[in-house]
Amino acid sequence: MEDSEDYLRKAIALAYSNAEKGGRPFGAVIVRDGRVIASAVNEIVETGDPTSHAELNAIRIASRTLGSPDLAGCSVFASGHPCPMCMAAMRLAGIKAVTYAYSNEDGAPHGLSTAAIYDDLAKPFAEQAMDIRHLPVRLAGKPDLYAGWRQQQH
């Protein structure tokens, strides 16, 4: 039976292997019922896609494997501290546990910490570095977007 440290070693090995190929040093695996159902690396360098983090890619693979956006019962093992995007993605997917090996403190001297983004996103919207605006625009002559959608669900 593999334990958390074994799964982390798999994620770290993926990170090393990705770095050897010129990618960023991040890997992740997703485990369900003691079995690895998804493995992924950071593919930003390869794809140019800024959302292509190891954990997000692993979530995408796991959801395809299970045929569902609901990953309840899955655990994530990530080589590095997940960024706020990936942490939120895990929550949206119903994932209840994440374990990581390299901390943001480990990453900071090498430009690999997301602590500053965490700090900024924790501020009230009006104080964040990004300009976040609410303009309550509506399309004329249409039923309410959300109420209409909800009615369809029944």
Interface of this chain with a copy of itself, residues 82 to 111, rule: CB under 8 A: 83-85, 87-103, 106-107, 109-111
Nearer to a copy of itself, 33 or 132 (CB): 132
Q: Is the distance from CB of 59 to CB of 37 less than 8 angstroms?
A: no
What single string gives the DSSP state of each residue in 70-95? --TTEEEEEEEPPPHHHHHHHHHTT-
A 10 A CB-CB count for 40 gives: 25
> Which of 19, 50, 55 has the alpha carbon at shortest distance from 40?
55
Query: Please, which residue, 35 or 132, has the CB nearer to a copy of itself?
Result: 132
127 in catalytic set: no
Considering CB under 8 A, how many residues would be counted as binding a copy of itself?
Answer: 79
Q: Which of residues 106-135 bind a copy of itself (CB under 8 A)?
A: 106-107, 109-112, 117, 120-122, 129-135
Measured from the CB of residue 96, what is the shortest distance to a copy of itself in angstroms?
Answer: 6
